[in-house]
Chains A and B, each alone.
Chain A
């Protein structure tokens, strides 16, 4: 039992949580402003594919060397932003159903990387391998510091700046915010676009940090786990961080610990049951069995300015 909680498990928990933290905290901006974000998965896929493609191109075609992964990261962020612009215009300007548009983005982004990689890399759905020294840093210390800095920054923006106050008020009571002179749609645009950038970075970390190429559908539902973490964390930054760490931990356990835990009967605990943990926890919390998780009041409702 003792060697279960080794340093390597902690390190891999951190590594696996990073994309979740980025995407979930992105989702937090969007949802606290009142826009549902089931499109996190699609934005992560966009970020992951673009980051890998740009890093590869920067390294091999442009010869940018060690700067390549950072340019790739920027590319991933811009891709997430680009998708978020489409999503934001459709949800905020044209008042489409947010869940429907989100589902559309997710379906679109299952196909798009395959289509583009088929054209640019003559492969079906994956990018070429990127050499190890052209990836983002992997050190647990580095990751831990970056994650803490991001969470602290987001906490500060959300609770200590006028923008954060406006964002939260728009998500709770857009009519009141509007009367107070806040532009509801401008705040919601910022929320959704910030979400896209962060989810794009999260996706980028998946392809050029944890892995060394993009593979078909490589997020494998992480966008939805991030969404789950956001709900489990009750739409608050610090709790969301902890939820992401917990879900990252379950993933690390299911990868590393196969066959380590035994049932009393001597059989392995099937990995499938460990994989289910985040989803079951989310349903339980959402139902209010363990504390209550209340969404922002105006979540999912397009704002119609009174004429």
Chain B
């Protein structure tokens, strides 16, 4: 078996197995799995809505998937992408509001910098805590998620909400900070579909992450730390530095969700906008086998499911869009339990007694 085929095989088995388990659940709930799955996946391929929304939903998932990937490659588990993207989205909106009158040539780079740096900063906190005090990044990123949500909700509620607005959202950012939607360039593609240039940025980031991890010295040191910290340290790599660097890069990637959300979609910060992007990023990275190309494929799958969920809600009798979350959970369980499949295969009768 070639290496590529092997890399594709386990994720594929995991997805198929998850759909089988999900299908059984749909049967129990009282619907036909085939109808439900056709609604779930079939809608993703329609033009322009299905494809447009699938790519739009894939954008944040590529960013968070890459964020989790960079952490994993350094042996770190960044469960904090959710908090990092909230901080970053708010920072992006803040710059977009404060400097609303700047020319786009300055304002857009400023907003990008805000998203990237604030995400990196928030993720560097658990990095520093781990490097300096050895405290576990999983616990700290979970705690920082809750702190981020509370902190931003405070800023919005007390300082940046328009007077009398019942919705928890900031005022609008300056028009100079808007980035173009695909409808501007593609004839026949309606501008109401919020797919925007951030999607291309996400693809670019996949390429950059690949270059960074596999073609630079820093990336090499991060991977060395991830695969064997003792050997890396013995080889003269400062593990502490790598931990902080990897977390910061991870947070910067998660932070770019803010670009898609604020500059390309809502043009303001909207409290609670994230549809579990940070956690789905874990599924994306794992299913994509921690490779940028895998991340794109996995993000497309989960984005298609997310889009299809709306149709399941609308058109099926019992199944709700919660099936998407359920499938996601089962997929991760199966991906994590690679040993389970090896065990299944290993249990085939060996017929050794026939040879005796």
Contact = CB atoms under 8 A, between A and B. Distances in A.
Interface centre among B157, B326, B335 (most CB of A within 10 A): B326
B300 interface: no
A12 B27 CA distance: 42
Given A111-B326, A272-B154, A279-B147, A227 B333 contact: no
Given A224-B146, A276-B147, A104 B329 contact: yes
Contacts of B328: 107-108, 111
B340 A90 contact: yes
B170 interface: no
Contact of A108 (B132, B135, B150, B333): B333
Contact of B320 (A107, A115, A275): A115
A124 B322 CA distance: 9
B139 A227 contact: yes
Interface string B311-344: 0000000111111111011101101111110010
B143 A228 contact: yes
B343 A94 contact: yes
A280 to B, nearest CB: 7
Contacts of B320: 114-115, 118, 124-125
A131 interface: no
A179 to B, nearest CB: 24
A282 B29 contact: no
B332 A231 contact: no
A105 B332 CA distance: 9
Nearest to B316: A118
Interface centre among B29, B147, B335 (most CB of A within 10 A): B147
Contact of B340 (A94, A119, A270, A283): A94
Nearest to B279: A107
A184 B322 CA distance: 37
A270 B135 contact: no
A111 B339 contact: no
B293 interface: no
Contacts of B322: 110-115, 118, 125
A286 B140 contact: yes
A287 B135 contact: yes
Contacts of B323: 111, 115
Given A95-B339, A112-B322, A279 B136 contact: no
B102 to A, nearest CB: 30
B243 interface: no
B326 A283 contact: no
Interface in B48-68: none
A295 interface: yes
Contacts of A100: 77, 282, 286, 332, 335-336
B276 interface: yes
Interface string A20-54: 00000000000000001010000000000000000
A275 B150 contact: yes
Nearest to B341: A94
A237 B264 CA distance: 50
B144 interface: yes
Interface in B112-136: 129, 132-133, 135-136
B138 interface: yes
Contacts of B286: 100
Interface in B69-122: 77, 79
Interface in B143-163: 143-144, 146-147, 150-151, 153-154, 157-158
Given A103-B282, A108-B330, 16 more contacts: A38-B79, A103-B79, A107-B276, A107-B325, A110-B276, A111-B325, A112-B326, A114-B321, A115-B25, A115-B319, A118-B29, A118-B320, A228-B139, A231-B139, A272-B157, A279-B146
11 contacts: A38-B138, A96-B339, A103-B332, A107-B280, A108-B329, A115-B25, A124-B320, A228-B139, A270-B157, A282-B139, A288-B133
